[in-house]
Amino acid sequence: MVELQKVSKQYDDGTTKHPVLQELSLKVNAGEIVVILGKSGSGKSTLLNLISGIDTPSGGSILLDGEAVSNQTDRERTLFRRRHMGFVFQFFNLVPTLTVQENLLLPRELVQGRVAEADEHDAKQLLKGVGLEGRHDSYPDQLSGGEQQRVAIARAIIHDPKLILADEPTGNLDYETGETVLRLLDEMVRKKQKTMIMATHSREVIGMADRVFQLYQGKLTKDNLEL
Amino acid sequence: MKYMIFMNRCISTNSIILILLTGLLTHGCGLSEEEKGRSDSQYRVSDFMSGRDTALFKRADKPRPIQFPRDLGAHPAYKTEWWYYTGNLSADNGRRFGYELTIFRSGLRPDALKIGNPSAWRTKHLYMAHLAITDAAGEEFYSYERYARGAAGLAGAQSDPFKVWLENWQVRRGSESSLSSGKKIPDMLLQAQAEPISLDLRLQSVKPPVLQGDRGLDQKGPESGNASYYFSLTRLESKGTLSIGKKSFEVTGWSWMDREWSTSALGKDQVGWDWFALQLSDNREIMYYRLCNKDGSASAYSNGVIIDSTGQKISIAPDDISIAPQAYWTSPTTGVRYPVRWQMNIPEQNIKLEIIPLLENQELQTRFKYWEGAVSIIGKYKNETLDGYGYVELTGYDDEVNRGSSKR
Amino acid sequence: MLWRSSLRYLLKHPLQVALSVLGVALGVAVVVGIDLSIQSAGRAFEQSTDRVAGKATHRVVSVDEGLNDSVYTHLRARHGIRKIAPVVEQYVYIPGTENQLHVMGVDPFAEPPFRPYLEQLQAAEDGPLSSFLMHPSGAVLSKGTADELDLKISDTLQVRVGDQIQNVELIGILKGRDQYNRQVLEDLLILDVSTAQEMLGMKGKLSYIDVIIPQSEMGTVKADRIRSLLPGGLELQRSNTRSAAIEKMISAFKTNLQSLSFLALIVGMFLIYNTMTFSVLQRRAQIGRLQALGVTRSEIFRLILVEAGAIGLLGTVVGLVGGYVLGGGLVELVTRTINDIYFNLSVREVAVNAGIILKGVALGLGATLLTALIPAREAARSSPRVSLSRSSVEKGLLDRLPTISAIGFILIGVGSAILLYPSNQIFLGYAGLLPVIIGYALLTPLFVVGMVWFVRRGIGSVSGLSGRMAVQNIKDQLSRSSVAIAALAVAVAATIGVSTSISSFRDTVENWLQYRLQADVFVSVPGNVSRRQARTMDEEVVSDIKDLGEVKAVHTLLRTSRIYEGSVVDMEAIEITLPGRDRYRFKEGDPKQAWNILEKGGVLISEPMAFDHEVTVGDSINLETRRGKRSFPVGGVFYDYSSDIGTILMDRGIFNNHYREQGYTSFSIVGHSNVEAEQLTDVVERKLANRQLSIRSNKELRTLSMQIFDRTFTVTRVLQMLTVLVALIGVFSALMAIQLERTREIGMLRALGFTRRQISGVMLGQTGAMGTIAGLLALPLGFVLAVVLVYVINKRSFGWTLELAWSYEVLWQAMGIAVGAALLSGLYPAIKMAGMNVVRALREE
């Protein structure tokens, strides 16, 4: 479903080039949960950005469902992303000026162009599923960090995407809340049989992964050392 | 002041303008020194400027009949003229006063005006007047000056009925009846005021006019035309009121009038003069002026007369007379040193006079400063005591160099 | 450390700071610019008064134009009154231009005590005085003016006096001793009295006699003495009587300009408030953190105020410089208007004085600090936790909405009460307008909430996600958006108000011209149509025209001026036959009766005259005549828009009984019905070919009148545009701030799958919606402003009845300006946001 072929990425700050990813290859199958472990600054977010099409690789190619993303225009990538991807970020997941429900419905509306009552019903159901029943009219900054992440998880799957990208979804949370959120994420993804790539620095996550990779100095290695 | 008017150097058109203007302009040279460029218009600026305009006037070069009342009025064909009144007056209580009222006329270019229907303010003449009062008892000397154009009724002179005026300083004919008695000279009313003084006199000539020089042509320099027409009224019975501030005095006394007109009277070597007009108690008058050369010597054109009680004149040549200063006074304002006491001897006539000023300070504080003052006279004719009053004018003392170092 | 953080914050947002500074600067610049231009005009006027009056304390004037010069001779030569000086004064034109020279005919012998600058009227030994006195056309100019006209001594200068060209020869050049003297001498053409009388056709006349009377008991005695010596029709008055009356003419004009400049400042204040509020809101997290670290509230309060002060100071400095530049431009416009409708004035330089600078500084700094008080207090008040929450601020505002709205309504009420209070004070008009505007601005949040609700319910489902988000954003960012909206709304409302009042004025005047200008051809002494002319045409001109076969009727007019109760008023003596009379429309009084009263020795007065002096039909006005004060019954009040100083209309026959002025300033010609207007114009032109007269057809004159009208309002329009500009900058900076603040959010939206276009759509949709809201908000306020300007301000300033001309065009334009301005200012953030690097945006905190 997702295939990376010798993908490289380097940033240019004017004087020197900083290689972030070096000829990195990876294949993720449908329904698989892959965890990318890495320290802060190892290039995890960059990797996710490349997969989502937010960023473009300096070399190599990325195939989504067999199609090379790198050949697409920004607009095509955006439309693909909107349709087939869900996101959970470390922080700032929600649009602050929209209510919880509005945030939740945002992907649906993006895909469908409009929302119907059925969508609102789905949203409420989903909210119930993540344990936030009745909070649909709240604004994001009225929720706790864990609650916000739960909304984000709900939002990531509401439009039934093929691929969910999670970037340190628990990075901003305390241990306990993180656990809860992870469990929820695992549960939701598994239940809906989604593919998910999650980037994290926390080894606690490993348990829910089908496969674990480690990102170190721009290279990806299969992580089996401490399993 | 008469002397200065004679001097072209001082009183050409331009210099009277300068005199007038210095009133306006304290520090000179406001005008830029732009080239007087050419112009296609009818008049060129330079036409109005040069001193050569005297050529446009008649000159006093030969005797002309002097007639009355015609010659009391203005003579616009000549460049300058004046009406010069001086007099000694006494109040009821014996307080002595002297007065001077002079009105000068200076002609501008007589040919310059070619304007049809000009404004009444258009002028060919500038007028200047001096007024002075000597208060002997109060030891005060008052002097004033005024300027005006000879137009718009502001200043002017006319012969019949006689009137000469600059603003409200004026001398005019009295009643018409004063002429009917066959006299040539009408009664005159003299009026002038300037805070705080005022003068209001009736003047009655008791002697016929004296034509000075040759039938009224008074030669003052070597060249033809260096002369003036000149007549005097040497004994004018005067009566009227003189006021100083709130004090008013009924006064009587004798006045003297000089009328003179000319275009270019003096030679260039002459730098000043002493002029004496003396009215003696024996009903005689003496007029004598001494012109002074650059080198300090008396000019040969100095001249004078003695008028007897009937009005007959006896000429006095420079050789007939000696005038010696007895005392000097230095003006605190100008620093000029004037001789103020004189010894005058006319040996042939057996006249010996001591001339004493009523006040030493009788220097006029006008734009051009000079000494002109009332004097009293004590002296002898033969062996008889003689006294009287008179007026003396001293000019040219402001520049010691002009007069030479050797004083007489 | 705190300051450093604050400084870095400001440096990190240079555009925002620059815009705030610009906003303050523009506000200050407009106020200072207007002040400077008015001040410069005033100073130039004083100088022109000074150069004329010199040291004179009093002046002998005639109730009509000029006096016999024999009066002077009488006073001086007969009564020995010294310290008086004759003056012949007039304005002449450089032919073919509007440039004027101020002719002063003086007597150099009388001058010394009066005009010290004439000291220089001399030269070396060969002085020019004799040519000054004797040259038939000799004149003296200042060095500056001579240089400007490129003249040397002996050069000839042509001037137009009334309907004739005259030659003047330069015989002297005056170099002013110092700056002041040089300025006083500008544009002065000094002649001898005689030359002036001849050249100006004033033989036997003087314009007036200057007098110096000491301020003492003796002075009073002297004044009484002079008065006792004056023949009938002459008065001894203080020198400044006329200039004071003249200066009064432009007081309403000045007040209005100053008020308009204040409007710009008010809009500028919104802008500053906006900026400071943003900078507080944007840093609420930081402020919360600082508080958490133990920074006290008062320290935070001070921090914000100092920041505001720095912006204010910078803005003020820039504004002062800008004001000086602006003043230079405005002074020309102001001078032209004064010249067009009031009196001759030439302003040579922008006069800077400390007062104006202080006022600018006080306004710039004061307004900045004042408006920053609210956000500063807010920042200091919020507790650390609340500071971190953005929605709490918005919630707070929503909670306070009723209070704010109530204050708004109260202010509007107070303003309306002041406006409705019957008074003639222009000042009260503006004083009433201010609370209305501010009160209305305070209602903006309420209106925004309402609008958003309405839009969401009504059209929200149609406009799609971006649209809805855009609208919703406005509401959710109420605290920021409503200030920008209010500023924009006020500026647009000002546009509506000013435009409407001008167009109302214009329509009224056009309509009035329609019936006032009924004749076919108009002949007048050249120069300004509206201003009185000193020199007139003689009878011959009129009789020549009357004799023409094509001419059916000639109506003559002599326009001159009088001082009535300390104010300058126009006086017009007319010869008008029955059919010509319907060109006058009456506001009060029955026309038939009015004309009857006029014929019998009464007067008709114009509306401004009736208003200014509170006289109406049935009253009488007392006028000085040659034979002393006379009472004239008022027969009617007619509409007149040619002069705001008031006009007294008198029958020419009656006028001649009371005054000596002769000739005509203009006359109108009605042709026979079978004669074409063009043909008639040709005939008249041929007949008057040898005279310097303006001959205009009905159409030409009407066009010209409207041109002058439009020119008069140039200043107003410029000010109005500047106000809109200030508002635009306000909106721009507000929107910029709002949008730029959302970088992270936009990044996330992009990640979620928002296309660039959708992002732009949200941005532009939001600003467009704000513009629309502002436009809609502006309409009622604009209407109120227009009504107040037309019926209150204009009425109180000039006394004119105007018909409110409400045009849809203005409304559309206003709406266009609002939306266009908003979209324009949303464009930059929209482009920037759409094109931003999502990766970097996501990484930013």
List of chain A residues whose C-beta atoms are within 8 Å of the C-beta of residue C754? 78, 82, 110
Which of A5-14, B41-50, C655-664 is predicted with the least confidence, judged by mean pLDDT? Answer: B41-50
The DSSP H or E segment spanning A138 is: none
State the average pLDDT over residues C198-207.
Answer: 89
Confidence of residue C382 (pLDDT cuts 50, 70, 90): low
Q: Is C136 exposed, middle or buried (0-12, 13-18, 19+ CB in 10 A)?
A: buried
Q: Is the pLDDT confidence value at B42 over 60?
A: no
pLDDT (0 to 100) of residue C535: 60
**Max mean pLDDT range (B352-361, C123-132, C446-455, C574-583):** B352-361
Confidence of residue C560 (pLDDT cuts 50, 70, 90): confident
pLDDT (0 to 100) of residue C330: 83
Q: What are the pLDDT digits (tens) for C710-734?
A: 887 887 778 778 777 777 777 777 7
pLDDT (0 to 100) of residue C180: 66
Determine whether the interchain pair C154/B44 forms a contact, defined as Cβ–Cβ distance below 8 Å.
yes
Q: Provide the shortest C-alpha distance from residue C139 to chain B (in Å).
A: 11
Q: Is the pLDDT confidence value at B110 over 80?
A: no
pLDDT (0 to 100) of residue A130: 80
Domain boundaries, chain C: 1-54+251-388, 57-238, 446-516+701-845, 526-692
Which of A129-133, B247-251, C283-287, C634-638 is predicted with the least confidence, judged by mean pLDDT? Answer: C283-287
Determine whether the interchain pair B41/C167 forms a contact, defined as Cβ–Cβ distance below 8 Å.
yes
Confidence of residue C467 (pLDDT cuts 50, 70, 90): low
Q: Could you say which residues from 643 to 672 on chain C have a Cβ atom under 8 Å away from some Cβ of chain B?
A: none
Q: What are the pLDDT digits (tens) for C642-695?
A: 877 889 999 999 999 988 888 888 888 988 888 888 888 888 888 888 777 888
pLDDT (0 to 100) of residue C360: 85
Q: How big is chain A by its Cα radius of gyration, in Å?
A: 17
Angle at C98 between CA C93 and CA C101, to 5 degrees: 35
Q: Is the pLDDT confidence value at B266 over 50?
A: yes
Q: Provide the shortest C-alpha distance from residue B180 to chain C (in Å).
A: 28
Confidence of residue B25 (pLDDT cuts 50, 70, 90): very low
State the average pLDDT over residues B353-362.
Answer: 96
Q: Is the pLDDT confidence value at A226 over 60?
A: no
**Whole-angstrom Cα distance, residue C24 to residue C318?**
9
**Whole-angstrom Cα distance, residue A11 to residue C197?**
90
Cα distances (angstroms) measured from residue A127 to each of A159, B36, C378, C389? 14, 103, 35, 23
pLDDT (0 to 100) of residue A222: 73
CB-hemisphere CA count at 13 Å for C746? 29
Q: Is the pLDDT confidence value at B186 over 80?
A: yes
pLDDT (0 to 100) of residue B45: 32
List of chain A residues whose C-beta atoms are within 8 Å of the C-beta of residue C389? 141-142
Determine whether the interchain pair C751/A79 forms a contact, defined as Cβ–Cβ distance below 8 Å.
no
Q: Is the pLDDT confidence value at B379 over 90?
A: yes
State the average pLDDT over residues A30-52.
Answer: 83
Which of B188-202, C78-92, C466-480 is predicted with the least confidence, judged by mean pLDDT? Answer: C466-480
Within 10 angstroms of residue C181's Cβ, the number of other Cβ atoms is 18
Chain C, nearest residue to B38 by Cα: C154
Of C134, C171, C204, the CB nearest to B112: C134
Chain C, nearest residue to B43 by Cα: C135
Determine whether the interchain pair C751/A55 forms a contact, defined as Cβ–Cβ distance below 8 Å.
no
Q: What are the pLDDT digits (tens) for B72-101?
A: 999 999 888 999 999 999 999 999 999 999
Size of interface A-C (CB pairs under 8 A): 81
Whether chain A has a CB inside 8 Å of the CB on C464: the answer is yes
User: Who has greater pLDDT, C40 or B317?
Assistant: B317
pLDDT (0 to 100) of residue C9: 66
pLDDT (0 to 100) of residue B12: 34
Whether chain C has a CB inside 8 Å of the CB on B148: the answer is yes
Tokens 């406009």, located at residue: C463
Candidates C752, C757, C837, C838: best to mutate against A (most CBs of A within 10 A) is C752
**Max mean pLDDT range (B52-56, B370-374, B398-402, C326-330):** B370-374
CA-nearest of C752, C749, C725, C727 to C739 is: C749
User: Who has greater pLDDT, C19 or B76?
Assistant: B76
pLDDT (0 to 100) of residue C652: 92
State the average pLDDT over residues C94-117.
Answer: 82
Whether chain A has a CB inside 8 Å of the CB on C749: the answer is yes
User: Who has greater pLDDT, C337 or B314?
Assistant: B314
Q: What are the pLDDT digits (tens) for C145-159?
A: 888 889 888 889 999
User: Who has greater pLDDT, A78 or C591?
Assistant: C591
pLDDT (0 to 100) of residue C843: 62
Of C124, C156, C172, the CB nearest to B28: C124
Confidence of residue C102 (pLDDT cuts 50, 70, 90): confident
State the average pLDDT over residues B312-338.
Answer: 92
Q: Kindly report the three-state secondary structure assignment for every residue of chain B.
A: CHHHHHCHHHHCHHHHHHHHHHHHCCCCCCECCCCCCCCCCCCCHHHHCCHHHHHHCCCCCCCCCCCCCHHHCCCCCCCEEEEEEEEEEEECCCCEEEEEEEEEEEECCCCCCCCCCCCCCCCCEEEEEEEEEEECCCCEEEEEEEEEECCCCCEEEEECCEEEEECCEEEEECCCHHHHCCCCCCCEEEEEEECCEEEEEEEEECCCCEECCECCEEECCCCCCCEEEEEEEEEEEEEEEEEECCEEEEEEEEEEEEEEEECCCCCCCEEEEEEEEEEECCCCEEEEEEEEECCCCECCCCEEEEECCCCCEEEECHHHCEEEEEEEEECCCCCCEEEEEEEEEEHHHCEEEEEEECCCCCEECCCCCEEEEEEEEEEEECCEEEEEEEEEEEECCCCHHHHCCCCC
Determine whether the interchain pair C80/B34 forms a contact, defined as Cβ–Cβ distance below 8 Å.
no
Q: Is the pLDDT confidence value at C390 over 70?
A: no
Of A102, A106, A141, the CB nearest to C752: A106
Determine whether the interchain pair C751/A54 forms a contact, defined as Cβ–Cβ distance below 8 Å.
yes
Whether chain A has a CB inside 8 Å of the CB on C391: the answer is yes
Determine whether the interchain pair C752/A110 forms a contact, defined as Cβ–Cβ distance below 8 Å.
yes
Instruction: List Cβ neighbours of C462 (8 Å cut-off, separation of 6 or more).
Output: none
Determine whether the interchain pair A74/C843 forms a contact, defined as Cβ–Cβ distance below 8 Å.
no
Of A78, A92, A110, the CB nearest to C744: A92
Determine whether the interchain pair A54/C755 forms a contact, defined as Cβ–Cβ distance below 8 Å.
no
Whether chain B has a CB inside 8 Å of the CB on C218: the answer is no
Q: Provide the shortest C-alpha distance from residue C736 to chain A (in Å).
A: 17
- The reply to whether CATH 2.40.370.10 applies to domain B2-22+57-403 is yes
List of chain C residues whose C-beta atoms are within 8 Å of the C-beta of residue B23? 109, 112
State which amino acid sits at residue C732: F
State the average pLDDT over residues A181-185.
Answer: 81
Q: Is the pLDDT confidence value at C761 over 70?
A: yes
* DSSP conformation letters of C420-476: HS----HHHHHHHHHHHHHHHHHTHHHHHHHHHHHHHHHTHHHHHHHHHHHHHHHHH
List of chain C residues whose C-beta atoms are within 8 Å of the C-beta of residue A74? 756
User: Who has greater pLDDT, B183 or C519?
Assistant: C519
State the average pLDDT over residues C530-538.
Answer: 58
Q: Provide the shortest C-alpha distance from residue C558 to chain B (in Å).
A: 25
Q: What are the pLDDT digits (tens) for A115-141?
A: 778 888 888 888 887 888 888 888 787
Chain C, nearest residue to A156 by Cα: C752
User: Who has greater pLDDT, C281 or C805?
Assistant: C805
Determine whether the interchain pair C753/A89 forms a contact, defined as Cβ–Cβ distance below 8 Å.
no
Q: What are the pLDDT digits (tens) for C779-801?
A: 999 988 889 888 888 888 888 88
pLDDT (0 to 100) of residue C123: 40
Determine whether the interchain pair A85/C753 forms a contact, defined as Cβ–Cβ distance below 8 Å.
yes
Q: Provide the shortest C-alpha distance from residue B246 to chain C (in Å).
A: 15
Q: How far is CA C620 from the centre of its chain?
A: 33
List of chain A residues whose C-beta atoms are within 8 Å of the C-beta of residue C750? 54, 78
Of A54, A74, A81, the CB nearest to C839: A54
pLDDT (0 to 100) of residue C530: 42
Determine whether the interchain pair B35/C175 forms a contact, defined as Cβ–Cβ distance below 8 Å.
no
State which amino acid sits at residue B202: R
Chain B, nearest residue to C176 by Cα: B30
List of chain A residues whose C-beta atoms are within 8 Å of the C-beta of residue C390? 96, 141
pLDDT (0 to 100) of residue C10: 65
Q: Is the pLDDT confidence value at C366 over 80?
A: yes
pLDDT (0 to 100) of residue C619: 92
Q: Could you say which residues from 51 to 70 on chain B have a Cβ atom under 8 Å away from some Cβ of chain C?
A: none
Domains, in order of start, for chain A: 2-95+145-222 (3.40.50.300)
Q: Could you say which residues from 179 to 208 on chain B have a Cβ atom under 8 Å away from some Cβ of chain C?
A: 193
Confidence of residue B35 (pLDDT cuts 50, 70, 90): very low
Confidence of residue C7 (pLDDT cuts 50, 70, 90): low
Domain boundaries, chain B: 2-22+57-403
State the average pLDDT over residues C343-366.
Answer: 79
pLDDT (0 to 100) of residue C213: 92
Q: What are the pLDDT digits (tens) for A46-78?
A: 888 888 887 888 888 888 888 787 778 878 888
List of chain A residues whose C-beta atoms are within 8 Å of the C-beta of residue C472? 97-98, 102
Candidates A84, A87, A95: best to mutate against C (most CBs of C within 10 A) is A95
Q: Provide the shortest C-alpha distance from residue B368 to chain C (in Å).
A: 15
Confidence of residue C295 (pLDDT cuts 50, 70, 90): confident
Determine whether the interchain pair C473/A110 forms a contact, defined as Cβ–Cβ distance below 8 Å.
no
Of A49, A78, A114, the CB nearest to C755: A78
Q: Is the pLDDT confidence value at C88 over 50?
A: yes
Q: What are the pLDDT digits (tens) for B275-300?
A: 999 999 999 999 999 888 877 778 88
Tell me the ipTM for this assembly: 0.85
3-class SS of residue A81: helix
